[in-house]
Amino acid sequence: MNFELKSIGLVAASTEKADALIVLVAQDFKAAKDDLSDLVAQAIKAADLETKPGKLLSLYRPVQANATRVVLAGIGGGSARDVRTAVLAAAASLKSPSLKKLMVCFATPAREDAVRAVVTAVADATYSYTHTKSKPEPRALTKVLVATSNATEVQESFDRAVAITVGAELAREWANRPANHATPALLGKAAEELAKLPKISCEVMGPKEVAKLGMGAFMAVAQGSDQPLRFIVLRYNGAPKSQAPIVLVGKGITFDCGGISIKPAPEMDEMKFDMSGAASVLGTFRSLAILKPAINVVGLIAACENLINGQAVKPGDVVTSMSGQTIEILNTDAEGRLVLCDALTYAERFKPAAVVDIATLTGACVIALGGVRSGLYASQDALGGALFAAGEAAQDLCWRMPLDEEYAEGLKTNFADVANVAGRAGGSITAAKFLQRFTEKFPWAHLDIAGTAWKSGTAKGATGRPVGLLVEYLIGEARNA
């Protein structure tokens, strides 16, 4: 899908030939003297159109526009959230195989965040999964024109939004694929494909290399599956080698049955999404290749399945992590933290400026925050603040969670240095406290995306989050370098 930003207002937009035109109308709209503006003003006056976010008035071949279908959509005060609500509603009303060219026009000058919201909302609303369908129905929409009279002022934000959309769709694609179409080996190949893009390189390690590194926790999870593990190292080199990189660590459990501590059967199919953290790292690198910021970034993905065979790790087993710390595995379904802890130790060799891990880690985070905000943990306020601000800017929201030392008490055990689970209370926090043990040598943050990486029910599928947050954060760090 091709996005284009045009520096035009309603008058020029009304003459543009398109299959559909969405006109975004704010509550402070004042009509000019052109026909389309007059139509909008009359609709508001007659109460046929409300300017509340998401309120629509649909028209077919109106004489005031050259588009086949026109949707007038209220955007309230014009914030990113209001615009996203309006565009999602309008796009849903326009779904049709005949919709190939769409124009979205702001009736008044747009804010930067509002322009970004248009791009991401159109992409979300028209995404179509096709990989494993015998009769796929790909996205019909091929061209989207975003029109505002102040295009020059918002060009940079628009370009970033387009790049984020490309990355988020790559993340969605891999997280949506069934586990037999997204094995650890296939994830490795996807990373190697990214290495064909500018400034990106890739190394993919298998079981022998991982064993040599001493990643005992990672290997313990992988030993229950016949699919060999992969440890993926991506590098984006956009700055001098002397500049310390930011390291992104993605949980890559390509299927999670829970191991011996097996999950309930209902909705277990959704555990193909348990590599959404890894998928977000792939998507972020795809966006970096487009934007080319002056920053160095390393992506680490620990990819394996968590299944059950005769060699599967058992509750009560003790393993030795790459850091040398021993771990008593009380629950084999708390496997994400086991693969992440070894990846976090591996990150030390890059002498990073910061490390951010991304994982669908705990159901407890879903209970705490639902599907609106990701859980954010950070060892330093500056890092936590930067990630929080990036989420707000990208409308890929997160919420800072506590890391009080008292939460680590439940991880104590008589049989190892640490247990992999505590009690049910504060489960997302105790998981983060486990990870924190492996991060003493660098500033560290953890994003628990268990509630935000996918949707269940009739809308079941990956969201591509938190690619937007990560890209926004990295762009900000590049500017501050």
Tokens of 73: 């959509």
Backbone angles phi, psi at 52, to 5 degrees: -65, 145
Catalytic residue status for 196: no
Cβ pair 105, 18 in contact under 8 A: no
Cβ pair 261, 283 in contact under 8 A: no
CB half-sphere exposure, 146, CA atoms < 13 A: 31
- Nearest-10 crossing angle of helices 112-126, 151-176: 30
Of the residues 160, 235, 337, 465, only one is catalytic, namely 337
The residue with tokens 């997160």 is 398
100/1 Cα distance (integer angstroms): 9
Cβ pair 350, 434 in contact under 8 A: no
167/475 Cα distance (integer angstroms): 14
* DSSP-based helix, strand, coil % in the chain, nearest 5: 40, 20, 40
Cβ pair 242, 345 in contact under 8 A: no
Side chain identity, residue 458: T
Catalytic residue status for 455: no
- H or E element at residue 128: none
Of the residues 81, 263, 400, 441, only one is catalytic, namely 263
5/243 Cα distance (integer angstroms): 34
The residue with tokens 């890092």 is 383
Q: Annotated catalytic sites, by residue? A: 263, 337
